[in-house]
Structure 1
């Protein structure tokens, strides 16, 4: 399966606090633990680690939750 997102891409996603933006820092193709939780990932359905633009918080999301943007947006 071909994936549209790569390390370094800027993406947005919806969170409880509204729309958030960040940069993909890592792509997981196997299950991994993060902050005490196991995140399920595979080559066909990877999880992406994203560093938030505003808080530097690291989040993990599947591709279906992410929207690629042209570049980092100013806030």
Structure 2
């Protein structure tokens, strides 16, 4: 089962720099362009834009890579 999140949820994920946390700012349910690349998303497998707590960097990830942050 795909994990579902909504705008405002606080989540965490692994990055090259270690564990990162942030807040979901957008949910995509269809393909979208992000930083010059097409990201694939569907209603059944959405992608999320997350703003990092520490750097304000915005990243896009599938729900399978995210966990609810504590």
Alignment match, 2:23: 23
Q: Is the Cα–Cα contact under 8 Å of residues 26 and 48 in structure 2 kept in the other structure?
A: yes
Cα root mean square deviation, aligned: 1.5
Alignment match, 1:58: 58
Give TM-score, length-normalised by structure 2.
Answer: 0.93
Alignment match, 1:40: 40
Number of residue-to-residue matches in the alignment? 70
Which protein shows a greater Rg? Answer: 1
Partner Cα distance (2:64, 2:28) in 1:
14
Give TM-score, length-normalised by structure 1.
Answer: 0.87
